[in-house]
Amino acid sequence: MIPCAYPKAQYLPHRDEILDALRAVLDSGLYILGREVATFETEFSNYLGIEHAVGCASGTDALVLALRTLNIGRGDEVIVPSHTATATVAAVVQAGATPVFVDIEPEYFTIDVSAVDAACTERTKAVIAVHLYGQAADLDGLTAIARRRRISLIEDCAQAGGASHRGRKLGTIGDIGCYSFFPTKNIGAIGDGGALACSNAELAARLRRLRQYGWDENRISLEAGMNSRLDELQAAILRVKLRHVDADNAERRRQAAFYRAALSSLPLELPAERASAQHVYHLFVVRSNERNALIQHLKRNEIAAGIHYETPNHLMPAFRSGLRLPRTDKIAGEIVSLPLFPGLEERSLERVVSAIAGFFENRPRQ
């Protein structure tokens, strides 16, 4: 079976480096917020080209910490795309705020700027730009709205580690950037992990405080905080992974180019690339009005395809809003994620393409 994603493929090429890093942590005797976390934070901020990076326990926690640090909570509204991982919305709810769902741009799958502007009220305190599938949302438009409306712009970079907008790394353009290091991500740990990035020293200091009980240097809680620490083992792994992320992203882009060339003549809608951004293809997502039949055909050919995401958040029982978001609702029944990850062999890509071509050649004529 060709998997849709395979985190072990991100481990095997760097196995010796990772094992050496883990042994060093185990031998050090310091396992929480020690040298590895501090060094990773410095290396990650340098990689991003921003002053501050703060590790935490997960990408979801990163979003919660960002919202709390920006004083967003009960009674406040946060505008989010419904077409996103549930974590984006769950973080807003955990922070005590109310998610306000808006539609997407169908060609890029990212939040629609005009819908954001229309959804703003006197209670709106922030908008979350989800850089979905590895590509930047419209940061020019979102930045302009955030400035004019005097609201915060939070970047959800969970699926876009290493991607950029106009030459700047994603997560360095809004007020705070949030990252997930879940094992399947472009920068993947071997377990949970997350981080935040910002250029404001006061925000960074509060992020560090809130991630650990609101403590000051004397372990006095100055405010109610969380327990959301990136542990030393994951930080050590991430230091190794960070050294290879650009090469891995280049490999993702090569695989995407292979798919694009090989599938261009078939009745599929291929992913568009925003001219101002560099896509890093966390996922290669195509559209077909025969999606479910295509997925079953691929499964019969021992190819695992994914759906990211089949049920929009505004239709989930936990967040049901009664809204109609026509673009989101339509693409939810059409999208399919094809296998793509560093280490996926060209012969496997060829098998995927051949199976898809066979599906369209053999389907009944309308």
- Pair 154, 283 in one domain: no
Q: Does some domain include residue 250?
A: yes
User: pLDDT band at 365, cuts 50/70/90?
Assistant: low
Task: Report the alpha-carbon distance of residue 161 to residue 42 in Å, rounded.
Answer: 16
- Pair 330, 200 in one domain: no
- Pair 219, 70 in one domain: yes
Q: Which two tokens stand for residue 314?
A: 């505004």
Q: Does some domain include residue 347?
A: yes
How many folded domains does the chain comprise?
A: 2
Q: Does some domain include residue 3?
A: no
Quick: pLDDT tens for 158-172: 999 999 999 999 999
Q: Which two tokens stand for residue 291?
A: 């999606």
**What's the one-letter identity of residue 246?**
D
- Pair 93, 216 in one domain: yes
78 pLDDT higher than 90: yes
Ordered DSSP codes for 218-260? TS-BSS---B---BHHHHHHHHHHHTTHHHHHHHHHHHHHHHH
Instruction: Return the CATH number at 282.
Output: 3.90.1150.10
Burial of 201 (0-12, 13-18, 19+ CB in 10 A): exposed
Average pLDDT, the chain: 97
Quick: pLDDT tens for 226-245: 999 999 999 999 999 999 99
- Pair 307, 172 in one domain: no
Question: Are 280 and 134 a contacting pair, CB within 8 Å?
Answer: yes
User: pLDDT band at 364, cuts 50/70/90?
Assistant: low
Q: Does some domain include residue 92?
A: yes
Cis peptide before 133 (omega within 30 of 0): no
* Signed CA dihedral, 198, 203, 208, 213: sign only: negative
Q: Which domain holds residue 353?
A: 245-362
- Pair 92, 29 in one domain: yes
According to DSSP, the residues that pair with 194 across neighbouring strands are 56, 180
271 pLDDT higher than 90: yes
Task: Report the alpha-carbon distance of residue 342 to residue 253 in Å, rounded.
Answer: 10
Residue where one domain finishes, among candidates 242, 260, 294: 242
Q: What pLDDT, on a 0 to 100 scale, did the predictor assign at position 235?
A: 98
